[in-house]
Amino acid sequence: MFDYSPAPESKDLVKFQASYGHFIGGKFTKPANTFSTINPATEQVLAEISHGTAKDVDSAVKAARNAYEKTWSKLDGATRGKYLYRIARIIQERSRELAVAETLNNGKPIKETRDADIPLVASWFFYYAGWADKLDYAGLGANPKAHGVVSQIVPWNFPLMMLAWKIAPALAAGNTVVLKPAETTPLTALLFAEICQQAELPDGVVNIVTGFGDTGAMMVGHPDVNKVAFTGSTDVGRIIAKQIAGTDKKATLELGGKAANIVFEDAALDQAVEGIVNGIFFNQGHVCCAGSRLLVQESVHDVVIKKLKARMENIRLGDPMDKNTDIGAINSKEQLTKIDRLVKQGVKEGGQAWAPSCAIPKNGFWYAPTIITGVSPANTVVREEIFGPVLSVMTFRTPAEAVAKANNSQYGLSAGVWTEKGSRILKMADQLNAGVVWANTFNQFDPASPFGGFKESGYGREGGRHGLLSYLKGSN
Amino acid sequence: MRLEVKKTYKLFIGGKFPRSESGRIYKVNNHKGEFLANVAKASRKDVRESVVVARSAQSGWAGATPYNRGQVLYRIAEMLEGRREQFVAEIRELTGKSEKQANQEVDSAIDSWVWHAGWTDKIDAVAGNMNPVAGPFFNISTNQPTGVVAAFAPQDSSLVGLVNTIAPAIVSGNSIIAITSETLPLSAVTLAEVLETSDLPGGVVNILTGNASELGSWLASHLDVNAIDLEGTSNAAELEMLAAENLKRVIRKGSYSRTGAKGSLQHILDLMETKTVWHPKGH
């Protein structure tokens, strides 16, 4: 194996303020009730963030309502689209800064923020910009209507990308939004507020309120909110579904997953191993659609595991700002504790955990990439979403057994299939109960492609024409 | 004078006509308040049995070709047309509708089956698409049924409301447990006899007569039910809360009209899941 000299990206590409208020009605409020947001790779404080109160939420919803009634709903689609194009362009201009900011606050490798997160953010706005004046073609007949004010709550695993998935289609459809970033990763959303100012987006069309779960609950419960969009855990998704029961509020919920990644004996095994690594170790496994259950056909189990272990020995874990880093920091101490607890439980239930020998940095939160073999569908690590770099491995003999095991989950977000046989891919794709099926690839995302789950992985789609429909209603 | 042979109104579960496991019945009166029939009052165990048979029937029904499902739905329309007189008589007796009004309701019910029958092989043509992603990938979104649906037919309709509750669910390959109007259940049981003679696999449609509020909580909280249609319920908010436990897809009251000879594509899609498949392009 080659040694790599350190190649750190410059931290000076982004300047955070010492403290941030909320972004309401086009202006930042005075910071209040602050809490610290840190770099999870170093545990250094990056900025002080305001914890949103009921009053903050109310003024944000009022600003959004006001902007909806007086400005945004009166603009023609082409003009709304031009604002979104402007935002897309400013994101491209500031992409290096945003990538650095995201890596500092989230802990994910700069390689990923630079090559995946931020380019997708720009492309999401560019894609939905083009829909804004074509809503008649969305599939709801002529003159579909926006819902009005949308509360949007996004997670910490892809902070700015999830913001883009939420805000771009909402605005294209003519809604105004109040968005809350996750408590551990608020900084790129606050930089996005500046981008809205630079794009001269009318005041109140986008409002950013920072805070914890209680702030989010107030955003869901506010009586003047018409629609809720949430990405996060299935447990919180359930709470939101209960909270809006009996109201007129619509919801889009993108929740947990426990994807099966199925490798047949006739697969291109080296490619499949790359796909397995990408499927579970991309973004430290903090991915709702991560391929966290590897199903290998029995005849190739040993060779696949051997290749996988050899590949894992070459994974570089460490400074997320280093351009060579593959696996960065776990986003929070809380998440690290959860991963550790679940893996210990897996071992207690009889699984064998294996991780390559890699140096773990002293400060910050880290978890070495891990595979657990010798587990069955009843084991905790096979059933529960770990949301970390941990892969459970099982075997199967026939395609029918692979389908049965893959579908044996409360979740249904994604699945992977590796085989060189085309007819098998198509039949597997038909039978897998998952919203996204990646065949001979994994973890691909695109603004033109709908994403979202079956069963307890939530409902509604983001991306593509389907994602636009989440923010529209028929006019009759 | 010949004594009329009256029908026993029973449940429809797994293609069979059992009495309620509980042995319970309730009286149904005609529009003048006179006794008409004893109808089975479904119990919790009937609900659970229905979910089991609906689950086991679902994948086979979903796996049938759209052409085949379309023909089965069309066959239902044919069978319904053939028993028009019986439906008209039941609707008139229960609701006091005129012959013309009752015939109109039966017309709508028959035509709605025909409307739905035609959709089976067109849903993906209209609501699916190739996605032009920025990379060398084949990428397609199609729709598949969500699974097992629990549905409460409107309380104020004998036949057409029930048809417009069942058809949008099964057209795409879902199976269904349908709870009938409590006070107007006779046409529902007769509809079950139509379904039973229409080449529809047993268990795809299960029809329970009884009290919607009582049956509602058991269906809404059942973890092997994927979607719930709250149209005919009187405690919709409470049931929606229970349905959240396993993130059921919910159709709220008043979302769709159930009175016409046409349904709504959006209603059909509400009970389906979008699936997107990616594959690299290369040599």
**For all residues of chain B together, what is the average pLDDT?**
97
Domain boundaries, chain B: 25-275
Asked if pLDDT for residue A47 goes beyond 90, the answer is yes
Residues of A in Cβ contact (< 8 Å) with B226: 455
- Cross-chain residue pair A446–B141, CB shorter than 8 Å: no
Q: Cα A134 to chain center, whole Å?
A: 27
Structure tokens at A131: 């829909």
Q: Are B143 and B196 in contact (CB under 8 A)?
A: no
Buried b (16+ CB within 10 A) or exposed e, B34-54: eebbebbbbbeebbebbbbbb
The pairing of strands A260-263 and A149-153 is unpaired
User: What's the first-to-final CA gap in chain A, in angstroms?
Assistant: 64
CA dihedral in degrees (B59, B62, B63, B68; nearest 10)? 140
Residue A376: closest CA among A399, A337, A414, A404: A404
Segment B85-111 shows an average pLDDT of 97
pLDDT reported for residue A158: 98
Asked if pLDDT for residue A282 goes beyond 90, the answer is yes
pLDDT reported for residue A171: 98
Using the Cα atoms of residue B74, residue B75, residue B78 and residue B79 in order, give the sign of their dihedral.
Answer: negative
- Cross-chain residue pair A410–B246, CB shorter than 8 Å: yes
Catalytic member of A9, A102, A112, A288: A288
Q: Is A288 a catalytic residue?
A: yes
Q: What is the pLDDT of residues B245-277, one digit of tens each?
A: 999 999 999 999 999 999 999 999 999 999 999
- Tell me which chain A residue has its CA closest to the CA of residue B242: A242
Interface contact A474, partner B, CB < 8 A? yes
Three-state SS at B31: coil
CATH superfamily of B25-275: Aldehyde Dehydrogenase; Chain A, domain 1 (3.40.605.10)
pLDDT reported for residue B283: 76
Of A435, A446, A448, the CB nearest to B273: A435
Q: Is A289 a catalytic residue?
A: no
Segment B194-210 shows an average pLDDT of 97
Find residue B249's DSSP bridge partners: B227
**For all residues of chain A together, what is the average pLDDT?**
97
Residue A269: closest CA among A298, A303, A292: A303
Segment A220-234 shows an average pLDDT of 98
The amino acid sitting at A436 is V
Banded model confidence at residue A1, pLDDT cuts 50, 70, 90: low
Of A246, A436, A439, the CB nearest to B279: A439
Of A242, A410, A464, the CB nearest to B131: A464
- Cross-chain residue pair B278–A449, CB shorter than 8 Å: yes
Interface contact A437, partner B, CB < 8 A? yes
Interface probe, candidates B148, B241, B276, B281, chain A, greatest A C-beta count within 10 A: B276
Contacting residues for A114 by C-beta, under 8 A, at least 6 apart: A9, A95, A96, A99
Q: Cα A216 to chain center, whole Å?
A: 17
Residue B201: closest CA among B173, B222, B221: B173
Q: How far is A134 from chain B (nearest CA, A)?
A: 16
- Cross-chain residue pair B247–A456, CB shorter than 8 Å: yes
Segment A91-119 shows an average pLDDT of 98
Overall residue count recorded for chain A in this entry: 476
Contacting residues for B81 by C-beta, under 8 A, at least 6 apart: B110
Q: How far apart are CA A154 and CA A211, in angstroms?
A: 12
Segment A320-329 shows an average pLDDT of 97
Where would I find the beta strands (DSSP E) of B192-234?
205-208, 227-229
Interface contact B126, partner A, CB < 8 A? yes
pLDDT reported for residue A4: 85
> Which 224-263 residues of chain B touch chain A by CB within 8 A?
226, 236-238, 240-241, 243-247, 249
Q: Are A195 and A94 in contact (CB under 8 A)?
A: yes
Three-state SS at B216: helix
The pairing of strands A34-39 and A44-50 is antiparallel
Residues of A in Cβ contact (< 8 Å) with B275: 429, 434-437
Range from A353-362, B145-154, B223-232 carrying the lowest mean pLDDT: A353-362
Q: How far apart are CA B163 and CA A104, in angstroms?
A: 57
Q: How far is A160 from chain B (nearest CA, A)?
A: 20
- The dihedrals phi and psi of A5, each to the nearest 5 degrees, come to -75, 150
CA angle B89, B90, B91 (to 5 degrees): 95
Element (H or E) spanning B179, and its range?
strand B175-179
Three-state SS at B182: coil
Q: What is the pLDDT of residues A167-218, one digit of tens each?
A: 999 999 999 999 999 999 999 999 999 999 999 999 999 999 999 999 999 9
Residues of B in Cβ contact (< 8 Å) with A466: 141, 274
Contacting residues for B23 by C-beta, under 8 A, at least 6 apart: none
Residue A47: closest CA among A38, A55, A56: A38
pLDDT reported for residue A9: 93
Q: Are B157 and B149 in contact (CB under 8 A)?
A: no
The amino acid sitting at A459 is Y
- Can you give the three-state secondary structure of chain A, one letter per residue? CCCCCCCECCHHHCCCCCEECCEECCEECCCCCEEEEEECCCCEEEEEEECCCHHHHHHHHHHHHHHHHHCHHHCCHHHHHHHHHHHHHHHHHCHHHHHHHHHHHHCCCHHHHHHHHHHHHHHHHHHHHCCCCCHHHCCCCCCCEECCEEEEECCCCCHHHHHHHHHHHHHHHCCEEEEECCCCCCHHHHHHHHHHHHCCCCCCCEEECCCCHHHHHHHHHCCCCCEEEEECCHHHHHHHHHHCCCCCCEEEEECCCCCEEEECCCCCHHHHHHHHHHHHHHHHHCCCCCCCEEEEEHHHHHHHHHHHHHHHCCCCECCCCECCCCECCCCCHHHHHHHHHHHHHHHHCCCEEECCCCCCCCCCCCCCCEEEECCCCCCHHHHCCCCCCEEEEEEECCHHHHHHHHHCCCEECEEEEECCCHHHHHHHHHHCCCCEEEECCCCCCCCCCCECCEECCEECCECHHHHHHCCEECCC
How many CB atoms neighbour CB A222 within 10 A? 21
Contacting residues for A135 by C-beta, under 8 A, at least 6 apart: A77, A143, A144, A172, A173, A174, A468, A472
Banded model confidence at residue A3, pLDDT cuts 50, 70, 90: confident
Q: How far apart are CA A237 and CA A17, in angstroms?
A: 33
Asked if pLDDT for residue A255 goes beyond 90, the answer is yes
Asked if pLDDT for residue B70 goes beyond 60, the answer is yes
Segment A381-389 shows an average pLDDT of 97
